[in-house]
Structure 1
């Protein structure tokens, strides 16, 4: 009861958010800009995949009738008589039907007003045997509704088109079709009119898809390069196969579940990419060790996989258990973020299947071991690690005490540096919104004056594209 306004409960549908915002601006009357916007609205709505186009900005056309009270009194007319006369004339009259050949056509007599000038010659009534026309008692003006807001882009009058896509449609494909139509329309609009895309969600999706592709290629190259030093070129490819196979299985499962590649899913795939080869490395390396010890390819694949299968499964399950509770994230944020744990669980489960089934099969069929690599002496790195491990096992108390002391030192150092904790790092935003709070009761013209002052201040900034 102490709230200034009543609370509002709204249902949020992500498909209702526009994927593109198109601004039509220029030094032309708002009637011209709005007609251009309406034409573009009709053409864009015809594009496959577009759900709706909402045109904003520009005042609605309004037919104003200004009566002369003295003339109404002189002709003894009331508003009820005028309204009845308008209703009688502004109608479409059905004319029945007509059969022509095999078709049947409905007829109608159009009687609705199409031009305000038609109202001037409308006969309202008879007085002393003479007709009284509408223009005798009123003036009809073709005008616009009273202005309640201003819409400008870079200082020029504008109207905007908000373009929404259908649920499940490819945002990039829909955006490309809209861009092709806008590019063709630029050569058809009057001189001085600009068509600018002020919001493009497809750009962010393209960037994330490019990052995913780059990460996959980089991961393949790095995995092959590192494992080449220890397992050889051919065997390193066996591990690298885990990336494309896991991604392929994950895409198939996501498609079957009806999950599209939105921004959260793409981020999740990039996050999971670094963990896809972990299981494969353990499996392939153990099979390689058995091959070095003289076992055949099939026998090495069986033994190597069986020895580390349960540790690999346990390791993957512990990771999945960390993300599984996030699937029950409540509220609006949960609707957004639930795709992150689902994608990670699906992708890591796919990598486990690849490591336990596909990698051993490939190794049993194609893994080779040259005589030089079979008799290769132990490397210095492995030898140093073996000595360090033996020293640590012989002195467990020292190792545990040193590890605890290192943990305390890290906590103290972190506190002294004073970097603090943040959930999300600060990033440079792509858009900035300036809220102007005018004095109570400020008129529209005063608000417009304040807005123009802000536009003048931010105008010289080189990094601002649209204002």
Structure 2
């Protein structure tokens, strides 16, 4: 092959090419983002419409069905489902996988815009969002009272006001943050309680009160006053600054006398009715749930949020402390680090096995260099194709570790054979590589032919394994290039004296022979014994052909019958020291009733010694509705407990059966 000739004639050039691949690969590795799975675009659009005060039946008839009929005519819809809650309608449109998600969302927005005029005036503006698994909360922070600080405890309204005006804005300024939502917030609200007897006495209707409060509590532009020298803007500043100012609003005039609001109603500076709850270890708390922007990296966003909170802790008001509850970056780091560790261990074991078989440290170095160059060089192509370091790509690299060094071993062994035939190192490298080149090329291309179609499969599985197939193909092609260039070049200029002593048994002479040489010698003898055993089995198989075929057929049939015994799952189960629990109360239950059940479930959970803390959320996130609750359970680290998450789940199900 021509690049083998170029490499042998220009060893410095070949070395610089290898260094360039390594340098570019390391540079690309620093730019690669880390995530748990590849970034997949799911063509799913969700339409959410709020209808305050409406029952699920009314929401279904007045909102949900009309939205379904409007979007049903869009081309490419695979499934259309809907859910009607109290005051909320959710319509989920799932498109075929070849449909672009952005275009699908635009089509849905156009159809929903035509349906909106047909809805009642009380129905809020529909919200059309693309479904993105990464749009869930990646980080959550609890605002808790600090008992150690002493002094007066801040009220729930004060904590909510500070969190909304200071903490929320600080977190929203972090790069990559898409939205910050408050769960369990108790917002300040001016409540006006009407006095029916006073209203009847003054002849004032509730509509007059509502109209007066709405019209009087606002700033209005009047116009401008212009002169030769000045141009001034005139406006009416009528927005109320204090709660008691509402009592001075004139709601009507009777017999030329004004009727003020405080004469027919009571103004109360209180709290807004809570519509969602967060319970931290059974106690109500204020939770800030953070979502990242589309396309942003989870780990980078979480690191930015953690740094922002660390800076803010010195500026906290007295009696307030912050506690990080949920962190989606931690499972990603654990999973990726585990796969990365497996990859490194596999590479070390591969080189060790090669050393034991070749029984030469020079040959091991020559062939072993293929492994790091191919792995590092693959990062260059991963960066070019926009991949990330995730479980799929790292799994691909782990799987192909053994494949990457095969070509180099075959080329090196053939070069050694030619050297033992009496040829010079240069001629042996040239002739040995050319002789075996076609076979190595055919082997590599067969591997490419196996894994390349995996990168272009259809369906959801194909979207996930696109990076898997391309990564393996890139790594294998780089290893073949290194085997045809670097290995022959090193073999031609770095002579190995041990290859001439192959098969000759001599006593220990050097320190190497007295130490590691004894281990490799024992391994050679064991390998020869194994080869002799294989030859005996092969001779028996050649004599008893029918029996050999029957044994092979029996193993094949038995394997087919054992396939149903294997479990199937999309993603392997992993223990990240956390789990979640979902439940719902009977339809029509109040928020307080669901809260009481959540406290009971949390109490059972915290009785288990493996539980570090619990966080319950009601009517938020994936648990929309006052009857739906989600409990996040953080466990102690895996090394500090004897039971796995699955084992704890079985025990927990039995205990939860006691909750009425």
Q: TM-score w.r.t. structure 2 length?
A: 0.60
The 2-side partners of 1:411 and 1:354 are apart by 38
The 2-side partners of 1:308 and 1:105 are apart by 90
The answer to whether residue 449 in structure 2 is matched with residue 326 in structure 1 is no
**Aligned match of 1:422:** 567
* Alpha carbons of structure 1 residues 332 and 189: separation in structure 2 relative to 1, 3 Å: farther
**Aligned match of 1:262:** 390
* Alpha carbons of structure 1 residues 466 and 118: separation in structure 2 relative to 1, 3 Å: same
* Alpha carbons of structure 1 residues 106 and 439: separation in structure 2 relative to 1, 3 Å: same
* Alpha carbons of structure 1 residues 155 and 210: separation in structure 2 relative to 1, 3 Å: same
Aligned residues of 2:282 and 2:603 also touching (Cα < 8 A)? no
**Aligned match of 1:160:** 287
Aligned residues of 2:184 and 2:275 also touching (Cα < 8 A)? no
**Aligned match of 1:253:** 381
SS at match of 1:77: coil
The 2-side partners of 1:390 and 1:431 are apart by 53
Deviates more, 1:63-72 or 1:249-258: 63-72
**Aligned match of 1:288:** 416
Deviates more, 1:27-36 or 1:388-397: 388-397
The 2-side partners of 1:86 and 1:307 are apart by 94
SS at match of 1:294: coil
Once the two structures are superposed, what CA deviation does each residue of 1:79-131 show, in whole Å capped at 9, x if it has no partner? 45444433443333446599xxxxx9988664433433321222334444433
**Aligned match of 1:456:** 603
Aligned residues of 1:216 and 1:243 also touching (Cα < 8 A)? no
Aligned residues of 1:328 and 1:338 also touching (Cα < 8 A)? yes
Deviates more, 1:77-86 or 1:296-305: 77-86
The 2-side partners of 1:14 and 1:262 are apart by 16
SS at match of 2:502: coil
Aligned residues of 1:223 and 1:239 also touching (Cα < 8 A)? no
Correspondent of 2:180 among 49, 53, 61: 53
Correspondent of 1:466 among 613, 622, 628: 613
**Aligned match of 2:93:** 9
Once the two structures are superposed, what CA deviation does each residue of 1:280-300 show, in whole Å capped at 9, x if it has no partner? 222233223333333333333
SS at match of 1:457: helix
SS at match of 2:181: strand
Unaligned runs of 5+ in 1: 99-103
The 2-side partners of 1:358 and 1:291 are apart by 17
- C-alpha RMSD of the superposition: 3.9
Correspondent of 1:241 among 369, 387, 399: 369
The 2-side partners of 1:108 and 1:293 are apart by 102
SS at match of 1:19: strand
Which residues in structure 2 correspond to 1:333-348 (within 5 Å)?
A: 333-348=461-476
Aligned residues of 1:265 and 1:340 also touching (Cα < 8 A)? yes
Unaligned runs of 5+ in 2: 1-64, 66-80, 85-90, 95-129, 147-153, 505-523, 615-660
Which residues in structure 2 correspond to 1:117-128 (within 5 Å)?
A: 117-128=244-255
Aligned residues of 1:19 and 1:201 also touching (Cα < 8 A)? yes
The 2-side partners of 1:191 and 1:173 are apart by 30
Q: CA deviation at 1:188?
A: 4.1
Deviates more, 1:282-291 or 1:374-383: 374-383
Once the two structures are superposed, what CA deviation does each residue of 1:263-290 show, in whole Å capped at 9, x if it has no partner? 3333333333343222222223322333
Aligned residues of 2:191 and 2:269 also touching (Cα < 8 A)? yes
**Aligned match of 2:500:** 374
* Alpha carbons of structure 1 residues 264 and 195: separation in structure 2 relative to 1, 3 Å: farther
Aligned residues of 1:18 and 1:162 also touching (Cα < 8 A)? yes
Q: Aligned pair count? A: 460
Q: CA deviation at 1:154?
A: 0.8
Which residues in structure 2 correspond to 1:49-128 (within 5 Å)?
A: 49-94=176-221, 110-128=237-255
* Alpha carbons of structure 1 residues 396 and 436: separation in structure 2 relative to 1, 3 Å: closer
SS at match of 1:9: strand
* Alpha carbons of structure 1 residues 131 and 177: separation in structure 2 relative to 1, 3 Å: same
The 2-side partners of 1:263 and 1:106 are apart by 61
The 1-side partners of 2:362 and 2:296 are apart by 41
Correspondent of 1:197 among 324, 329, 336: 324
The answer to whether residue 289 in structure 2 is matched with residue 142 in structure 1 is no
The answer to whether residue 220 in structure 2 is matched with residue 131 in structure 1 is no
Aligned residues of 2:189 and 2:269 also touching (Cα < 8 A)? yes
Q: TM-score w.r.t. structure 1 length?
A: 0.82
The 1-side partners of 2:315 and 2:403 are apart by 52
Q: CA deviation at 1:156?
A: 1.9
Aligned residues of 2:541 and 2:548 also touching (Cα < 8 A)? no
Q: CA deviation at 1:162?
A: 2.8
The 2-side partners of 1:348 and 1:97 are apart by 78
Correspondent of 1:30 among 153, 156, 170: 156
The 1-side partners of 2:251 and 2:346 are apart by 83
The 2-side partners of 1:47 and 1:97 are apart by 43
* Alpha carbons of structure 1 residues 295 and 21: separation in structure 2 relative to 1, 3 Å: farther
Aligned residues of 2:346 and 2:398 also touching (Cα < 8 A)? no
Q: CA deviation at 1:422?
A: 1.7
The answer to whether residue 593 in structure 2 is matched with residue 446 in structure 1 is yes
**Aligned match of 1:180:** 307
* Alpha carbons of structure 1 residues 50 and 398: separation in structure 2 relative to 1, 3 Å: farther
Deviates more, 1:249-258 or 1:388-397: 388-397
Once the two structures are superposed, what CA deviation does each residue of 1:331-382 show, in whole Å capped at 9, x if it has no partner? 4444334333333333333333333344334444x43211x43133265456
Q: CA deviation at 1:417?
A: 10
Q: CA deviation at 1:190?
A: 5.2
* Alpha carbons of structure 1 residues 169 and 447: separation in structure 2 relative to 1, 3 Å: closer
Q: CA deviation at 1:385?
A: 6.0
**Aligned match of 1:101:** none
Q: CA deviation at 1:152?
A: 0.2
The 2-side partners of 1:367 and 1:436 are apart by 69
SS at match of 1:305: helix
The 2-side partners of 1:106 and 1:346 are apart by 67
Once the two structures are superposed, what CA deviation does each residue of 1:239-283 show, in whole Å capped at 9, x if it has no partner? 222222222222111111112223333333333334322222222
